[in-house]
Structure 1
Amino acid sequence: MTRNAPDPNAADPCISGPPAPADDTTLRLLSAGDLAGIDIGLADVVGTVEGAYRTLAAGLSDNPRKLTVKPADGHSVSYAMLGRDGSRDVVAVKTSYKHGLDRGRQEQHYYTTLTLYDDRTGLPVAMMDCGRIGSLRTPAVSALLARECAAPGARSALVIGTGTQGRLALPFLLTTLPGLDRLMLFGTHPQGIEAVRARLHAHFPGRDVEVVGDARAAAADADVVVATAGGHTPAAVEAGDLRPGALAVLVGHGLAPSTLHHADRVVATSEAQMHVTGTDMADADGKLPAVDTEFPQVLAGRAKGRTAPGERIFAYNSGLVVTDIALGHRFAELALGRGLGTQVPLWR
C-alpha cells in the first residue's frame, strides 16, 4: 500500500518559497476569517501533509517534542511546539490553549496560533489562527494512516465523534480510500451529526452516512475506526469489539485502552508525542506499550504500516508541527497572494 517515496531533495512544484514580508518591523496577521475564504482541495491537503512527513523522515526537518502545561485539576491544557520545515526553509512556533475541559463543549475556550518565519531571509512571514489548519491537517493524517495501514480491500469505516475533527474525517477517508462503500457515524450531538452530513455531501454529493446508536456494535462491522470524540463521549470501543484486520485510529477519544494494549501492531505519528498526550491510554501501572513503527518511516518506505491482513492495528494520530508548518505555509502563500491579512507594526 505504500507509494514509492519521492526524492526529498527534489524541488516541489507546489512550493515557491515563503511569501516575502514587507520588512522586519511588521507582522502580517491572518485571522480565522481571512483563512476561511481560502479554497483548497482535500487532495492538496493530503499531498502537503504527506510531503511534510517525507521531508521529516529524510532528516531534513526538525520536530522536537511538544511542551505541555496542565494544572492539577485538569481544567485546562496548553501546548507549545517549535519546528522547522527543511523543504520550505521555514521555522515556526505553534501554541495551543484550551480552557474548560471540565465543562461542556459550549463553555470551553480554545485558541491556537501559528507564527511562520522565513529561514532564508530571517524575516517573519505571518502569524495566523491555526484552527482551520488543524481541522484539515488532522483528518488528512488519519486518511493517510488508513491508506497505509488498513487491510487490503477495506470497505467500511466508522467515525466516532462529530466535533471539529469528526466533521471532515469521512471526506478525507474517501479521498485516500475511494473503495469505502459503508460509512458509519456515532455521535451524540444532533447539530454535529448534521454538520458531518453537510461536509460529506459538499465533497461527495452522492454519498451518505449511516448514524449508529452503539459504537461498539458498529466497530465489529468496520474495517477502519477513527475516534475523534471529546473527553465526555460515552463511546469506548474495546479491543474485543474490533474485527480481525481492523485499523483503529485514535485522534481524541472513543477507544478504550485495550485497543492499544491488545493490538497486534502499534503505529504512531510520533512515539514521543504519544507519551505526552496519550497518558489516558496507559495501563494500570501507568505504562504505554512500545510502538512498532513511526508513521513517517512508513511513508518513506522504510517500515510497513501493516505486515499481515488479519492484524488488528492501533494508530495514534498526534499532530506534528511540521505538518502545521507545511499547511500553514500553503495557506499563507494563498492568503498573502490575495492581499489578505492585517499588517501590524509589532517591532517598531
Structure 2
Amino acid sequence: MGESAPLRLLSRTDLIDVPFPPAAVVAAVEQAYRSLGAGTAANPTKLTVGGVHDRSVAYAMLGRDTARGVVAMKTSYTFGPDDDRGGKRYTTMIMLYDDSTGAPIALLDGSRIGALRTPAVSALLARETLRPGARSVLVIGTGVQGRGALPHLLAANPGLDRLMLYGTHPDGIAAVQEELARHHPDRELELVDDPRAAAGQAGLVLGTAGPATQVAVEADDLAPGSTVILVGYGLAPSTLAGADRVIATSAAQMAVTGRDLAGPDGTLRPVDAELPDLIAGRAVGRQDEGQRIFAYNSGLVLTDIAVAHDLARRAIELGRGTEVALWV
C-alpha cells in the first residue's frame, strides 16, 4: 500500500492560514512529551553535516510516535548561516508516514510548524516552573517567536494578566499586538523601554530576540522566584549560572546548542530536570517559591511531528495541497 498511495504535498501557502488554535498546538506538543516520557516514542540524536568552508549546515531528524501511529523525518538546511548581507537561505521539510498502514501521509514545508511548536514548548515550560500566583510576563523580541509567544503562553497559563513587551522594530511590535488581539481581544499589551528594569517586575521573562539584539538581562535584574525561558537571545549567561534550578527540553541538546551560555571556565551549568519528566510527573519544575529557574527551549523532532501531523490533517480536511503519485 505504501508504494502505491499518493503523496500529499503541502506548501507554505497551503499551510499558512490553516486554523490551528494555540490551545490545540499546546495539547499536541504536550502529547508528544507524554509519549516520550511514557516510552512510546523514539527521538534519536540528530545527524549534522557542515558544508565546505562553513558555507552551509544541514540536519536530519527521525522520530516515531507510537501513540499517534506516525513515523516522520525532518530535514533542515541553512545556506550561508553567517551571511548578514541577505544571502542566508533556510528551508525545512517534514515527511509523515502512517505507521499503521505504511502509507505516506504528507510532505510539508516546515516553516509554520516551527513557528507554532516553539512557543507551545515555552508555554509548557512556564506552566511547569512558574511560581504560584505569578501574573506578569516580559517578552523580549518581536520576531517570529515573539509574535507567537503570548497566545500560546496564555493557552497554558491563563492567570498571566500583566503582559509586557520589549521590542525595537515598529512592524514587529505591531505584529505582536495584532496576534495577541486576534486570540485575546480583551488583553492589553504593555510596551516597556527598559527591559532590565521590567525583568525585575516579571514572574516570567521570555527571551525570543534575534542574535543582533543588544539586550542581555542579567541574573541580578530578576525578581526572586522568577522563571526565565531562553528561546533565542535576550538573556545573559548569568541567568543560567545564577539559577537555583535549570530545566531543559533536552539536556543533551542544551550541551550542544547552549555553549554560548558557558561560564568563564568553559563549563555549562548542569540541567536538573527535563521537560518530558516534568510532564510525566517523574520530576518537579519548582521546589520552592523563592527559586529562580532557568529553562532552555530547544526543539525535539517529536514535537515537530505532533504539530505537523495535526496541521497536515487540518489542511487535508480543507482540501489543501497537491497529490502526487510519486511511486507509480
TM above 0.5:
yes
Q: Deviations over 1:262-311 (max 9, x none)?
A: 11000000111111221211222332121101111101111101001010
Determine helix, strand or coil for the equivalent of 1:254: coil
Matched, 1:67 2:47: yes
> Which one of the candidate residues 214, 223, 236 is aligned to 1:234?
214
Determine the structure 1 residue equivalent to 2:74. Answer: 94
Cα distance change on mapping 1:189 and 1:107 into 2, 3 Å: farther
Question: In the alignment, what sits opposite 1:316?
Answer: 296
- Tell me the equivalent position of 1:347: 327
Q: Tell me: CA distance 1:338–1:166, structure 2 relative to 1, closer, same or farther (3 Å).
A: same
Q: Does 1:155 align with 2:107?
A: no
Are the structure 2 counterparts of residues 340 and 164 from structure 1 closer, same or farther at C-alpha, using a change threshold of 3 Å? same
Counterpart of 1:12? none
Alignment check: 8 A CA contact 2:138 2:198 kept = yes
Count, aligned residues: 328
2:314 match: 334
Alpha-carbon shift at residue 241 of structure 1 (Å): 1.1
| Alpha-carbon separation, structure 2, partners of 1:33 and 1:234 | 34
Cα 1:202–1:249 shift into 2, 3 Å: same
- Which one is further off, 270-279 or 67-76? 67-76
Q: Deviations over 1:88-129 (max 9, x none)?
A: 121111112234443459654221111111112222111101
- Same amino acid, percent of matched pairs: 59
Q: Is the 8 A contact 2:5 2:103 kept in 1?
A: no
Q: How does 1:244-263 map to 2 (within 5 A)?
A: 244-263=224-243
Deviation at 1:164, TM superposition (A): 0.8
**Could you tell which deviates more after superposition, 183-192 or 52-61?**
183-192
Distance in 2 (CA, whole Å) between partners of 1:179 and 1:339 is 37
Matched, 1:114 2:111: no
How far apart in 1 are the matches of 2:76 and 2:235? 24
In the alignment, what sits opposite 1:202?
A: 182
**What CA deviation, in whole Å up to 9, does each residue of 1:7-33 have, x standing for no partner?**
xxxxxxxxxxxxxx8853642110111
Deviates most, 133-142 or 169-178: 169-178
| Contact in 2 for aligned 1:24/1:124 (Cα 8 Å) | no
Normalising to structure 1: TM-score of the pair? Answer: 0.89
CA pair 106-179 structure 1, distance change in 2 beyond 3 A: farther
Contact 1:216 1:238 survives alignment (8 Å): yes
Give unmatched runs, 5+ long, in structure 2. Answer: none
Q: Deviations for 1:286-344, whole angstroms, at most 9, x for unmatched residues?
A: 32121101111101111101001010000011111111111111111122223321122
RMSD: 1.9
Name 1:302's counterpart in structure 2: 282
Distance (Å, rounded) in 1 between the aligned partners of 2:193 and 2:48: 35
